[in-house]
Structure 1
Amino acid sequence: MPLPGSERVNTEKSGSILGFNGLRGLSVVLVYLNHKCGLQFYSGSVGVWIFFILSGFLIIGELNRQRGKVGTAASRPAAEIVTFWVKRATRIFPAYYALLAILFLTRSYFQHAGPDLGFRYHVVYLSNYWIGSVIGGTAGPFGVLWTLSVEQQFYVIAPFLFILLPLERHFAICMSVVVLGVISHFLMYSSGFNHTAIHTLSPWNFSLIAFGGALTILHLQRREWAPNGNGTFVCLLIVGVMLCSNGVIYDAPSYLSPAIDIAIGLCLVALIWWVRANQDSIFVQALEWKPLEHLGKISYGFYLVHNFIPNPLGKALTLYGGMSVPDSVKITAGAAIGFVISYGVAHVSWKYFESPILHSRRGLTKFFLQYLPENPSQGVPRTELK
């Protein structure tokens, strides 16, 4: 029996998968509550891990399709790698580097985060190394950038693994990354790494991306394996909540921490697989609620800016207005106002900056592909982005 992914490639487009934007929307809400309201309950990790799994599902699925073109001689590996990088660059780079430029120009405002704000690391997507190894602790508002580094590091390596290697090896590649990440996660805990280093540098983060990739391959070939039924969804949700509670509220022993991390990650993997396999469910339809779906669509911009927007009810009112605002009001009302501001900035960025740039993908792809050497022996046409 052929391995998953060896017979056909995914013809679905990510935009047609119901519930995924809703999951992104919920994820940025969890991250926001963690950063702005001090919500624990694994909220920050859960939000980030959902993003990793979704990225793996969609991006490795895309690479799987691109390898299918190469395997049928419809395209060349070099053309597909260039196509992938142009697509990722036009989605990720503009908003990211525009934000870095603004932060660099206003860096004096963020000196409370420390004398070294790590710009030389952020520019080359090594924020996770800067936070976990160089400073080894809190990075103020710049702490949000580490997750983007993890994903970008994955994007650099993934095309070579999945476009150059045959389809029948893709599932094995994903599961190898998962296993190595799990082992490394346990080793980091047992070796005494601090929480920040584990959180930002653990290969477990790459395991979650690879798990997402394994899901998309399994969904293509073994759909009958997918979890089905609303009861399954509720059970997965209950187990996930219980694991989060055990890890935070009951202060589980440190030797159980890696196991709890992995168990929560597995619940999230199963939940995302369930959403993909149960597109007609009432729960998936709820994730398609328009405001939540739109928040998911602009979630990249929201995630980028939210931690750099100060609490509007913080020190400014006391310093300049002579007003004393209770801490409870600062946290709740201030966070609510900050959320609206973040949402507005992300919406404007998406509509007038990010989205127009995405429309340039086809032209940019043609521009870069024209410099690839021809391969007369194959005569394969160059690929364009769809």
Structure 2
Amino acid sequence: MQYIKQLDSLRAIAVLFVIFHHWKPVPHVNRFSLGAMGVYIFFVISGFLISSILLFAKKDHETNHTSKKTILKSFYLRRVLRIFPLYYFAITLGYILQNHINLYVDFEKLLPYLATFTTNYYFLFNETWGGLFSHFWSLAVEEQFYLIWPWILVYCHKKYLPVVIIIFIFIGIGHQYLSNYEIEQVGISTLSCFDALGLGSLLAFYYVYNPPTLIKFQKVFAPLGIIILVLFLMKYLFLYGVIFIPNLPLGTSMAIMTTALINHFIVHHENKNFKEAFFFKNKILIWIGKLSYGLYVYHYFIPEIFGPIIFGQNTQTFKNQNFSLNHSLQFVTYLLITLFISFISYRFLEQRFLKLKNLFKY
């Protein structure tokens, strides 16, 4: 499929949201749930890209009679090459470092769930988090999604796919409304994320099978995204309860706004007069976006590993500080270290496996 560079910029924004949330959890930043916002941006992007790849393969099957089993085999092998090396390297790193740094979790107890991509349900059912591995829940959600979604896209007749995708979207929205919000981990169930993954998939369906429809979508998604953004800001700027504001789940809100943005990118990404080009075609953001997987995986470990060496303090001390020049200096230092490590990881670990993806068509 065609490379859309703005998606890398969007990935960069998403991962920076997550990093900022985990490293700077002061009250007025947490109020906006930047970490959750970043993750839901990732989910929509993932739903769009994965579904686009599979649907283009399905289209190839319809014209060239490519085997469906070949499509699925290639898809899963390519996913393994992209996700597994860094993921299991990070787990191995945790195993090696568990006696040298504080992982803030019983690593031996968590390990089976890490190894099987089921940490989200471990956190949910135990109403706890996983220390420096807490953010791995979103990787678990995506892998669980990959277990069922490719089969549906490849084997379901294309005329039924929009309905099936819309059902998945409403399952995600409904699950969020019906969930027990007294549990902090409520939003990390895979079902709760179906709306974001589904919206990305719905966009992918029309991107592959009926691109002109996206221009019509623009007329709907653009104003809808703006309306939800305004309502979202009103809600989190202390106006909720003062005036009536519809209580749309955070995940759904972010998913709709992200879908609107991606649809805008698809329609206008080749336009030389693209108004947001100065930002979403920014080379630094695109570069950060390419490193986003590594940045996401490594960032939680950095203050715990390097904090005692450079600043004489651990993660908890760093996170519990208020805004200050000293904290800002630490934040920038950790960010630069994370960028460097993620670049080295991408260059010498991830790319070695990414090159192997070329052996498989889909």
TM-score by length of 1: 0.80
The farther-off stretch of 177-186 and 282-291 is 282-291
Return the letter of the residue paired with 1:123: A
The residue aligned with 2:148 is 157
Check if 1:173 corresponds to 2:161: no
- CA gap of 1:241–1:33, structure 2 versus 1, over 3 A, is farther
CA deviations over 1:288-328 (Å, ceiling 9, x no partner): 211110100110011000011116556974479xxx9x753
SS in structure 2 of the partner of residue 342 of structure 1: helix
Which residue matches 1:356?
352
**Number of matched pairs:** 343
Contact residue 185 and residue 258 of structure 1 kept, 8 A: no
Q: Which residue of the other structure, out of 35, 49, 55, is the alignment partner of 1:58?
A: 49
Task: Tell me how far apart the structure 1 counterparts of residues 16 and 161 of structure 2 sit (CA, whole Å).
Answer: 33
Deviations 1:348-367 (A, max 9, x none): 1111111121112244xxxx
Q: Structure 1, residues 220-239: CA drift from partner, whole Å, max 9, x if none?
A: 4113313269xx96994574
What CA deviation, in whole Å up to 9, does each residue of 1:96-115 have, x standing for no partner? 11111111111234546133
Contact 1:61 1:216 in 2 (8 A): yes
Kindly indicate whether residue 116 of structure 2 is the aligned counterpart of residue 120 of structure 1.
Answer: no
Partner of 2:84: 93
Contact 1:36 1:331 in 2 (8 A): no
Structure 2 unaligned blocks of 5 or more: none
1:306 maps onto 2:299 in alignment: yes
1:165/1:112 CA distance change after superposition, 3 Å: closer
Q: Distance in 1 between matches of 2:196 and 2:328?
A: 32
Question: Does 1:45 find its partner at 2:45?
Answer: no
Distance across 2 between alignment mates of 1:172 and 1:319: 53
Identity of aligned residues (%): 20
Q: Which runs of 5+ in 1 are unaligned?
A: 1-11, 364-383
Does the CA-based 8 Å contact 2:199-2:255 persist in structure 1? no
Give the one of 280, 291, 299 matched to 1:287: 280
8 Å CA contact 1:228–1:277 kept in 2: the answer is no
**Which residue identity does 1:334 align to in structure 2?**
Q
Change (3 A) 1:233 1:160: closer
**Which deviations, in whole Å up to 9, do the C-alpha atoms of 1:229-263 show, x marking residues without a partner?**
9xx9699457426504514745669x965545433
Greater Rg over alpha carbons, structure: 1
For residue 94 of structure 1, report the CA deviation from its aligned partner.
Answer: 0.6
Q: Distance in 2 between matches of 1:112 and 1:60?
A: 35
Q: What's 1:24 paired with?
A: 11
* TM-score, normalised via structure 2 length: 0.85
Deviation string, structure 1 residues 43-98 (Cα, Å, up to 9, x no partner):
11111111100111111011111112222343111111100001111111111111
Q: Partners of 1:85 and 1:46 in 2: how far apart?
A: 27
SS in 2 for 1:310: helix
Work out which of the residue numbers 263, 267, 277 in structure 1 matches 2:253: 263
Distance of aligned partners of 1:251 and 1:109 in 2 relative to their CA distance in 1, 3 Å threshold: farther
User: CA separation in 1, counterparts of 2:356 and 2:77?
Assistant: 10
| 36 and 248 in structure 1: CA distance in 2 versus 1, 3 angstrom threshold | farther
Map 1:1-386 → 2, pairs under 5 A: 12-13=1-2, 16-38=3-25, 39-40=29-30, 41-111=32-102, 113-116=104-107, 118-134=110-126, 136-188=127-179, 192-201=180-189, 203-220=191-208, 221=210, 222-227=213-218, 236=225, 239-240=228-229, 242-244=231-233, 246-247=235-236, 249-250=238-239, 258-279=248-269, 280=271, 281-310=274-303, 312=306, 317-318=311-312, 328-363=324-359, 384-385=360-361
Residues 313, 274 of structure 1: alpha-carbon distance in 2 compared, 3 angstrom cutoff:
same
RMSD across aligned positions (CA)? 3.0
Q: CA deviation at 1:127?
A: 1.2
Task: Give 3-state SS (helix, strand or coil) of 1:81's partner.
Answer: helix
